[in-house]
């Protein structure tokens, strides 16, 4: 049997709340085990070597979206990244764009709350809500597209891997554009693409440089490239008066 690899985990360390803290990289060694993922390796470090290292996690199964970080330069979920797919030297950095809390932990919540507030990320229906009304019917193909968009776990990997988001703080990112697409697709929502005023600006779908890091890194394999094309098309139709308006 091949001998187990000894991994070097090189982790970013910094506490912005501590005036004396100096950003640095710190090395830890961990013996690899079969099926080990980065989540397990980080826990081993925290349990056995250094309880002060900070990182986020919750579900351990690519559902909560908490454990995003840059792994050898690429945005990934720690709980979904197997160490056997990585070299023996693994560098971990916090995701850019989001506010750094400490070490590998960033605040994605504020970013997502801001984005969801900006695009009013809830159903806008023409009729007042009636809890006793029968369920609305939706054709199967449309329902599948809407629920596919709803699979976003708000992990932020698409934002961390996006050149525009790094340069332009107001950019909605793939997560925001996917969210708008979800409401434009939904026949219950009265809004068309043209009703989202940010969409046609540099902070919307036209701000995208087309590098498509989001498409490469999304852990849920959401069809983000197709969503952008759909939004650009819908917007053009709406603005040229060729249809697609819901009201």
Residues 25-64, mask of contacts with ligand FES (x by CB under 6 A): --------------------------------xxxx-xxx
- 28 or 111, CB closer to ligand SF4? 111
- 57 or 237, CB closer to ligand FES? 57
> What Å distances lie between residue 14 and 54, 73, 153, 181, CA to CA?
9, 18, 27, 37
Q: Which does 57 bind (CB under 5 to 8 A by kind): ligand FES, ligand SF4, none?
A: ligand FES
What whole-number distance in Å separates Cα of residue 119 and Cα of residue 136? 23
How would you list the strands of the sheet with 6-13, edge to edge? 24-31, 6-13, 89-93, 68-71, 74-77
Residues with Cβ within 8 Å of 202's Cβ and at least 6 positions away in sequence, in order, are 168, 171
Closest CA to 55 of 110, 90, 11, 23: 11
Bridge partner list, 70: 75, 93
- 153 or 172, CB closer to ligand SF4? 153
Q: How far is the CB of 58 from ligand FES (least distance, A)?
A: 5
Q: How far is the CB of 59 from ligand FES (least distance, A)?
A: 4
Q: How far is the CB of 67 from ligand FES (least distance, A)?
A: 3
Q: Which does 165 bind (CB under 5 to 8 A by kind): ligand SF4, ligand FES, none?
A: none
Residues that bind ligand SF4 (CB under 6 A): 152-158, 174-175, 178, 218, 220, 222
Q: Which does 59 bind (CB under 5 to 8 A by kind): ligand SF4, ligand FES, none?
A: ligand FES
Closest CA to 108 of 155, 51, 173: 155
């Amino acid at each position: 049997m091949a001998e187990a690899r000894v991994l070097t985990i090189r982790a970013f360390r910094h506490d912005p709340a501590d005036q004396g803290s100096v950003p640095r990289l710190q090395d830890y060694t961990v013996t690899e085990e079969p099926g080990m993922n980065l989540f397990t390796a980080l826990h081993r470090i925290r349990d056995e070597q250094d309880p002060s290292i900070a990182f986020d996690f919750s579900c351990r199964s690519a559902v909560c979206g908490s454990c995003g970080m840059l792994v050898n330069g690429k945005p990934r979920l720690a709980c979904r990244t197997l160490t056997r797919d990585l070299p023996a030297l693994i560098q971990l950095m916090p995701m850019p764009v989001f506010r750094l809390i400490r070490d590998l932990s960033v605040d994605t919540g504020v970013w997502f709350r801001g984005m969801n507030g900006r695009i009013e990320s809830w159903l806008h229906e023409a009729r007042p809500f009636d809890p006793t009304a029968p369920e609305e019917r939706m054709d199967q193909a449309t329902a599948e597209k809407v629920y596919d968009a709803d699979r976003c776990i708000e992990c932020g990997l698409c934002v961390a891997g996006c050149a525009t988001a790094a340069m332009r703080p107001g950019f909605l990112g793939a997560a925001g554009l996917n969210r708008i697409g979800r409401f434009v697709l939904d026949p219950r929502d009265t809004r068309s693409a043209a009703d989202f005023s940010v969409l046609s600006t540099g902070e919307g779908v036209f701000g995208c440089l087309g590098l498509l890091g989001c498409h490469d890194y999304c852990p849920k394999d959401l069809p983000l490239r197709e969503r952008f094309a759909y939004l650009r098309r819908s917007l053009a139709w709406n603005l040229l008066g060729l249809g697609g308006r819901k009201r």
